[in-house]
Amino acid sequence: MHFPQAGTHTVVWWDPRSLRLRADQDAGLRQQRILAVDQASGRDAESEREHDAWQKHRAECTRRGSTPTHRVEIVTTRSKLGGPVSLLPVAVHRTDAVREGRPRGKAFGVLVHAVLAEVRLNGDNAQVVAASQAAGRMLGASEADVKHAAAAAIAALRHPLLREAASAEHRRESPVLLRDNDTLIEGVLDLAFRRGDKWIIVDFKTDRELDDAKAAYEAQVRLYARAVSETTGCPTEALLLLV
């Protein structure tokens, strides 16, 4: 060890003649003795064949594992594809809500659905307003949107369908799953209630008029009704309610 005239560091000089240079690495597949034994015994060729077989097996497992057992679609996607979902008739009902001057579009529809999902079906106007304000804060809706959403929900609760549902066994915002050949169709229905031995499936829509969307909306509520029917074994009836 050498100590400098200036500074506090030290230097160690190693005599290269005392070091074992150019030594073989003694680890992993580079260990020459193992390879030499394999070459002498013929095990090297067998090991290569075993490794090739392992790689092929692994590739086949990866291929099978990457192939989906089922395809998954959401109800709204399937309903837009066209084609017959079922022959179940779909009735269209309308609340007496004032639609002139109120907001339109998906954001307003989400707000109204959120209110109808939370408020009691026999709730009073004050409860609806409170539910609309809470949903509006959660969704970042404007004060005008909250006001119109509350009015739409109040009108919906006055409708005979929801009055009937309030006094019957019912489900709201219920997830459903439908198997269609190799495809699983999943969605969340707005409202289902019992009428005798039948389930009534109600899908809320905030459109002023159905127009070109009518066929897709009908297909959507038919899928919900089919899922409920296949799950419960009960007959179903499909309805659209313009709120």
Q: Is the pLDDT of residue 83 over 90?
A: no
Q: Is the pLDDT of residue 82 over 70?
A: no
Instruction: State how far the alpha carbon of 137 is from the alpha carbons of 12, 145, 187, in Å.
Output: 71, 11, 25
Question: Taking a C-beta distance cutoff of 8 angstroms, is the pair 224, 176 a contact?
Answer: yes
Task: Please give the pLDDT value at position 150.
Answer: 96
Task: Please give the pLDDT value at position 207.
Answer: 84
* Rounded Cα–Cα distance for residues 208 and 6 (Å): 90
Q: Which two tokens stand for residue 223?
A: 């899928």
Question: Taking a C-beta distance cutoff of 8 angstroms, is the pair 118, 110 a contact?
Answer: no
pTM of the model: 0.70
- Of 93 and 180, the one with more pLDDT: 93
Instruction: State how far the alpha carbon of 57 is from the alpha carbons of 10, 60, 62, 64, 71, in Å.
Output: 58, 5, 9, 11, 25
Tell me which amino acid residue 7 is.
G
Instruction: State how far the alpha carbon of 216 is from the alpha carbons of 72, 189, 213, 222, 225, in Å.
Output: 19, 15, 5, 10, 14
> Across the strands, what pairs with 176?
187
CA angle 145, 150, 153 (to 5 degrees): 125
* Rounded Cα–Cα distance for residues 124 and 222 (Å): 31
Domains (range + CATH), the chain: 70-95+163-243 (3.40.1350)
SS3 at position 126? helix
The confidence band for 124, taking pLDDT boundaries of 50, 70 and 90, is very high
* Rounded Cα–Cα distance for residues 42 and 37 (Å): 8
CA angle 224, 226, 232 (to 5 degrees): 100
Q: Which residues contact residue 187 at a Cβ distance below 8 angstroms, ignoring those fewer than 6 apart?
A: 74, 75, 76, 175, 176, 220, 223, 224, 227
Q: Is the pLDDT of residue 147 over 60?
A: yes
Alpha carbon 7 to chain centroid, angstroms: 67
Residue with tokens 């969307």: 213
* Rounded Cα–Cα distance for residues 136 and 125 (Å): 16
Mind listing the pLDDT tens digit for each residue in 10-33? 998 888 888 887 776 655 555 556
Q: Is the pLDDT of residue 204 over 80?
A: yes
- Of 38 and 157, the one with more pLDDT: 157
